[in-house]
Amino acid sequence: MKPSFSPILPMAPFLCSLLSIVILFYVSPTISTSRDPSLHSQPYKQTSFRVSLSHVDSGSNLTKFERIQRAMKRGQYRLSQLNAMVLATDGSSSEDVKSSVYPGSGEFLMKLAIGTPPEEFSAIMDTGSDLIWTQCKPCQNCYDQPTPIFDPKKSSSFSQLSCSSKLCGALPASHCRSDSCEYLYAYGDYSSSQGIMATETFSFGGNVSVANLGFGCGEDNEGSGFSQGAGLVGLGRGPLSLVSQLEEPTFSYCLTSIDDTKTSSLLVGSLDSNKIDTSKMSYKTTPLIKNPSQPSFYYLNLEGITVGGSSLPIKKSTFALNKDGSGGMIIDSGTTITYLENSAFRLVKKEFVNHVNLKVDKSGSTGLDLCFELPTGTSSVEVPKLVFHFENADLELPVENYMIADSSVGLMCLAMGGSSGMSILGNVQQQNILIVHDLSKETLSFIPTQCDQL
């Protein structure tokens, strides 16, 4: 069979700003919602709003290779944390505050406000975890943050959650002290947040206000993984997350090219409610799989991979979710590049070496596993097509979603790596694709989209 090639990859500047993204809220009509999240007596009103995304490190003084190396280090930490969550055993008890291990250091920051009157702050947005938390006074131990630490005594809408509340019961582990619900979230990089569970009014963009939203008021927070913001907002599938508490079944995001200065978007609510014309969109929809041992993650069923027209001989069990909760593949906004189970990645790597008629670079200078040397004066090069075959959805990736090239340093690299545990579809592979999470239908849709024109 004749090899299938993607469009010619131009030797544009190295697509290496594989780092965090700052989120600024731009919201449509004012919506105010109010309920006690622990009682489930009244549903939230549907909230729909759009979020503008921009790369947080676009103005940094880091060199291109420094950004690549930092991104790879962050991605490897993230991968080890996610695997640790799956392997962790439940050591909770009624007498001590204990916790499983959670992923930390997500790739996005979102600006929001908390309290009455509202105080603005930035928090990491993470689709790989659930709990919403921010640093609170009085701080026994807090890291430096760019905005003032939230003081609940100055807010008229702050209320502690009791130990009998449903959100307290939804914690993996909790401790009751004077009928106040205490929590501890520990992260794989040894960062952690500990404090009391409470409800507060959160404001998004100044126009969307959500009363009685459950969150962790962190009084003892350690580690450098969260220093870009003042806490974390979980968008996972568990009951503690923002989308679960809002009872909003649909959210989407659309990331522009990594080196693009134009903004990306995050949409909370359906595409129609966000005034997105879906009539000409081409959907490819795959089921979301549930992992009982890790119900917050968005698991997908990856059935195979094609490189250059060749279907790789990957065993069907390679990406399967095992009975003990290990293995499988998740889609994650907080991981930069895609990580494939090692046996599958070796086959992908071998096939790219067979198809790309360039010398393999063995310097390891980029932190990526497979790089090719570009001859002097090269203006373009052909690379093989890459297709991920998800259940009911064949996703053919644009070449810039998996190949990173820089003629000035003479390298072209595959933006993927190997994993000894679960596999992860990273955000580089998701750029210029509208990713739609529909939690009511339990599906995820890929919609090729020019994200800066959404």
Output 446 or 204, whichever has higher pLDDT. Answer: 446
pLDDT of residue 44: 43
Asked whether residue 90 carries a pLDDT value surpassing 50, the answer given is no
Rounded to 5 degrees, φ, ψ at 117 are: -70, 155
Query: DSSP class of residue 374?
Result: P
Instruction: Please say if the pLDDT value at position 38 is more than 60.
Output: no
Q: What is the pLDDT of residues 212-236, one digit of tens each?
A: 999 999 999 887 666 677 888 888 9
- What's the 3-state SS for 177-202? ECCEEEEEEEECCCCEEEEEEEEEEE
Is the pLDDT at 33 greater than 90? The verdict is no
Residue appearing with tokens 């097509």: 385
Which ranges constitute the DSSP H helices of 24-104? 64-87
- Taking residues 19-28, report their average pLDDT: 38
Average pLDDT over residues 26-46: 41
Give the model's pLDDT for residue 179: 84
Q: What does the pLDDT read at residue 52?
A: 74
pLDDT of residue 366: 85
Confidence label for 404 from pLDDT (cuts 50, 70 and 90)? confident
Work out the pLDDT band at 63, boundaries 50, 70, 90: low
Reply yes or no on whether the pLDDT at 249 is more than 80: yes
CA distances to 26, 187, 223 from 105, in Å: 24, 9, 10
Tell me what the mean pLDDT of segment 400-427 comes to. 90
Share of the chain above pLDDT 70, in %: 75
396 versus 5: the higher-pLDDT residue is 396
Question: How many Cβ atoms from other residues are within 10 Å of residue 311's Cβ?
Answer: 12
What is the structure's pLDDT at 281? 92
* Domains of the chain (ranges, CATH numbers): 9-16+279-453 (2.40.70.10), 21-267 (2.40.70.10)
pLDDT attached to residue 67: 63
Q: Which residue type, as a one-letter code, is found at position 70?
A: R
Give percent of the chain with pLDDT exceeding 90. Answer: 45
| pLDDT tens digit sequence for 122-142 | 888 788 888 999 999 998 898
pTM of the model: 0.84
Asked if residue 98 has pLDDT above 50, the reply is no
* pLDDT (average), residues 181-188: 80
Average pLDDT score over residue span 247-275 = 84
Q: Which stretch, 165-174, 318-327, 374-383, has highest mean pLDDT?
A: 318-327
Give dist(CA 82, CA 76) in Å, integer: 10
Contact assessment for residue 108 and residue 53, using Cβ atoms and an 8 Å cutoff = yes
The whole-number pLDDT of residue 9 equals: 65
For 204-217, write each residue's pLDDT tens digit: 766 788 899 999 99
CA distance linking residue 202 with residue 38, whole number of Å: 16
Residues marked active site are found at 126, 332
Phi, psi dihedral angles at 197 (to 5 degrees): -85, 140
- Using alpha carbons only, what angle is made at residue 387 by residues 384 and 393, rounded to the nearest 5 degrees? 160
Q: Which residue has the higher pLDDT, 40 or 406?
A: 406
439 pLDDT band, cuts 50/70/90, is very high
Q: Check residues 108 and 48 and name the one with the higher pLDDT.
A: 48
Instruction: Show the CA angle centred on residue 51, arms to residues 49 and 52, nearest 5°.
Output: 150
CA distance 369 to 388: 19
Chain segment 299-339, per-residue pLDDT in tens: 999 999 999 999 999 998 999 999 999 999 999 988 888 99
pLDDT at 149: 95
pLDDT at 282: 93
Residue 346 one-letter amino acid: R
Q: Which residues pair with 54 in a beta bridge?
A: 22
Residue 96 has pLDDT above 50, yes or no: no
Mean pLDDT over 174-183 rounds to: 88
Band of pLDDT at residue 406, cut at 50, 70 and 90: confident
- What is the per-residue pLDDT for 155? 98
